[in-house]
Structure 1
Amino acid sequence: MSLHSGRLHKRSENAPGQKSKVAKQSNRKRVQPLSKLHCEKNQLVLEGITRPCVLVDTPMKGVRIDGDGGSLVRPSPLPHLGWGSSDDVWVKMVSREQSYRHSKSFMQKHPTLQPRMRSMLLDWLIEVSDEYTLHRQTFYLAQDYFDRFMSTQNDVEKSMLQLIGITCLFVASKMEEACPPKLWQMAYITAGTYYKEEILKMELIILKALRWNLCPETAVSWLQLYFQMASMSVDSDLLEPQFPQDAYIQMTRLLDLCILSINSLDFQYRVLAASVLCHFLQQEAVEKLSGLSKDVLQPCLNWMAPFVESVGRCGRVATRDFASVKDDGHNIQTHTDYMTMLKDACKNEADSQFPTPPSSTEKTDAH
């Protein structure tokens, strides 16, 4: 049975009692609002979810993974864990790829939307994350919430995208950040487009649609895991950060650019992350780290080729220092001119072919 959210009405410009309480915050940098996405109609209808998305709380022996040719989960590539079973941890992580599904086919449910609108929204959310010094995982959680939420909806108008996006980021920040932005800050960053009450209403709609399943393994969490495994010494613990931060920042820029394209949803997050890592480490090593075969990785590597070229033309990204963040700056989501890079990458995306990954002598050592 379908659930109906009701209508979120647009307010009058001179509505009484609606004066913002944050008018004095003029010294804060204003992130440009998504004015190009606005129009008249504002209604959402929640569709019943035929297949519940649930976390797997117990080991699942013999789990089948669609993206791996329907084969059984391979032996865990995780190192020995002093605090738990590496096999159980690995199976639980991989099984979330089955429970937390995403697909670009959701666009077919929204005739008035275009893939570029999703790209613009996610680019803006990266900019908001940068402004509020949010972690990369926070943005990637918001991206996952948005894509999964949209798959439960029909006929969402573009005027609602900014509200949905900022609400997803608000929920994600409460899941990930030690000190998440306040509700009024989220309303303020929309440049007065939405009030706090509207964000709260949308929050409940999203949580119900997602059935409160808010803990996916994101693309960036897979990337960090793989790189941590590649960098750790024999006697170190997996939970002890020790990878080269500068190399990780270069990787995340490529991942950010890829996730802005709706075609990235053709791939599982772990496949997307492993494909990014293949451009910094030997593919054979990545296959061992990820438990993914060449046949699984190659389609994603082929698709990713123009994105790699676009990033390469922009040179290396500089490491930033954050006054309010100590020893964790590499995990802060930063923004750059992703839309220009995306436009450049998508020019030849359809007919590009990925060359054979370079040999070890041709690659720059990520360490």
Structure 2
Amino acid sequence: MKLCLTRLIKLQMHSHLHCQHSGWGSSEDVWRKMLSKERKYKHSKSSLDRHPSLRPKMRSMLLDWLMEVCESYTLHRQTFYLAQDFFDRYMLSQSDVQKDQLQLIGITALFISSKIEEIYPPKITELAFVSDGACLEEEILQMELIMLKALNWDLCPETVLSWIKLYIQIASLYDVTNLLEPQFSQETYIQITQLLDLCILDINSLDFKYGVLAAAAFSHFMSTDVVQKVSGLKWEAIETCVNWMAPFVEITMCYESARLREFVQVPSEDRHNIQTHVDYLCMLKEAQEKQLKSLEPLFPPTPPSSAEKPS
């Protein structure tokens, strides 16, 4: 059964690669395919409403841990973002999941995504090991079957990372503001992805389509004109997301700038594609506190009643 599943997942991967690369002769065809996936692969922050015992912080902690696992095994950023999408869509399809099941669901999502995205995915024994005994190999295999069925084998979403890469590629192809090396460096790329990493930990990021989320992140590094040209979105379509993201941008700027890391056996030209991890939970807490403070003027304190007013 395991071999059969692996073959089926590989077929999904080849189909995904074909969709990604076969249409570059027709940019309109590629665009239509990506937009159709945005409509097909639905996500929503309401997924947690279906699970009364869960809290948004639990999701944040799980995704933060998955980033750490990805960095430990030098897995690609797309592997993490596929796992994040699988997790959120699976939770949207379920009800009353208990918190002691979250780690199993998360590591299984990563198990599936790594078999799609990685040439040498980590072995199931390694993923069971990093769970520190919380997830057994047999449990991961069983959960894999459950998740694949719940996801209806729809394993090829356009993640937020897919969209940001597309925007960068379009900008480079059309040279809309000379967005070519060295102006757009690996360092700038990982700064954008660090911002996205931070944002995706917040359950409210699921209010937005991935394409909009990527465009909003891009707008904090490029001009509004460039963003509108490469995304095909009008400013009104991304303005709400840009404003929501502002505290996250401010916090990332307060920390040390993201830098290209060296990974043994990873070519220098591919290092920016490896998922990294920093103290995201601390950053997330600060960003969310800033968001709350920005809302305070909208909700002034209730004035005292007449009986409480000084004479």
TM over 0.5: yes
Decide which of 129, 152, 156 is 2:97's aligned counterpart.
156
Residues 228, 243 of structure 1: 8 Å contact kept: no
Decide which of 239, 248, 258 is 1:307's aligned counterpart.
248
> Percent identity among equivalent residues?
57
- C-alpha deviation, 1:84, in angstroms: 2.3
Query: What are the superposed Cα offsets for residues 310-337 of structure 1, whole Å, 9 maximum, x if unpaired?
Result: 1010031121011111120000000000
- C-alpha deviation, 1:350, in angstroms: 3.9
| 1:151 aligned counterpart, secondary structure | helix
Matched residue type, 2:63: L
Decide which of 264, 271, 285 is 1:343's aligned counterpart.
285
1:280 has 2:229 as partner: no
Residue 82 and residue 145 in structure 1: after superposition, are their counterparts in 2 closer, same or farther (change >3 A)? Answer: closer
Query: Which residue is equivalent to 2:128?
Result: 187
Decide which of 272, 276, 300 is 1:334's aligned counterpart.
276
* Between structures 1 and 2, the one with greater helix share: 2
Query: What are the superposed Cα offsets for residues 130-170 of structure 1, whole Å, 9 maximum, x if unpaired?
Result: 00000000000000000000001110000000000000000
Query: Which residue is equivalent to 1:263?
Result: 204
How far, CA to CA, are the matches of 1:83 and 1:255 in structure 2? 26
Query: Which residue is equivalent to 2:302?
Result: none
Corresponding pairs, count: 271
Residue 102 and residue 82 in structure 1: after superposition, are their counterparts in 2 closer, same or farther (change >3 A)? Answer: closer
| 2:253 aligned counterpart, secondary structure | helix
With the length of structure 2 as denominator, give the TM-score of the two structures.
0.83
How far, CA to CA, are the matches of 2:184 and 2:76 in structure 1? 17
How far, CA to CA, are the matches of 1:233 and 1:101 in structure 2? 30
Decide which of 113, 133, 143 is 1:202's aligned counterpart.
143
- C-alpha deviation, 1:82, in angstroms: 8.6
| 1:214 aligned counterpart, secondary structure | coil
Query: What are the superposed Cα offsets for residues 23-81 of structure 1, whole Å, 9 maximum, x if unpaired?
Result: xxxxxxxxxxxxxxxxxxxxxxxxxxxxxxxx99xx9xxxxxxxxxxxxxxxxxxxxx9
- C-alpha deviation, 1:231, in angstroms: 2.9
- C-alpha deviation, 1:86, in angstroms: 1.1
Query: Which residue is equivalent to 1:5?
Result: none
Query: Which residue is equivalent to 2:155?
Result: 214
Q: How does 1:37-56 map to 2 (within 5 A)?
A: none
Query: What are the superposed Cα offsets for residues 327-364 of structure 1, whole Å, 9 maximum, x if unpaired?
Result: 200000000000000000000224538xxxxxxxxxxx
- C-alpha deviation, 1:225, in angstroms: 1.3
Matched residue type, 2:276: T
Matched residue type, 1:273: A
Matched residue type, 1:90: W
Query: What are the superposed Cα offsets for residues 282-304 of structure 1, whole Å, 9 maximum, x if unpaired?
Result: 01110110001111010001100
Residue 309 and residue 243 in structure 1: after superposition, are their counterparts in 2 closer, same or farther (change >3 A)? Answer: closer
Residues 24, 30 of structure 2: 8 Å contact kept: no
How far, CA to CA, are the matches of 1:306 and 1:300 in structure 2? 11
Matched residue type, 1:349: Q
Query: Which residue is equivalent to 2:46?
Result: 105
Q: How does 1:124-163 map to 2 (within 5 A)?
A: 124-163=65-104
Residues 23, 29 of structure 2: 8 Å contact kept: no
- C-alpha deviation, 1:88, in angstroms: 1.1
Query: Which residue is equivalent to 1:226?
Result: 167
Query: Which residue is equivalent to 1:32?
Result: none
- C-alpha deviation, 1:195, in angstroms: 1.1
Matched residue type, 1:264: S
- C-alpha deviation, 1:83, in angstroms: 4.7
Matched residue type, 1:92: K
Task: Quote the RMSD (CA, aligned, Å).
Answer: 2.2
Task: Note the residue ranges of structure 2 that are not aligned, 5 or more in a row.
Answer: 1-14, 176-182, 296-311
| 2:96 aligned counterpart, secondary structure | coil
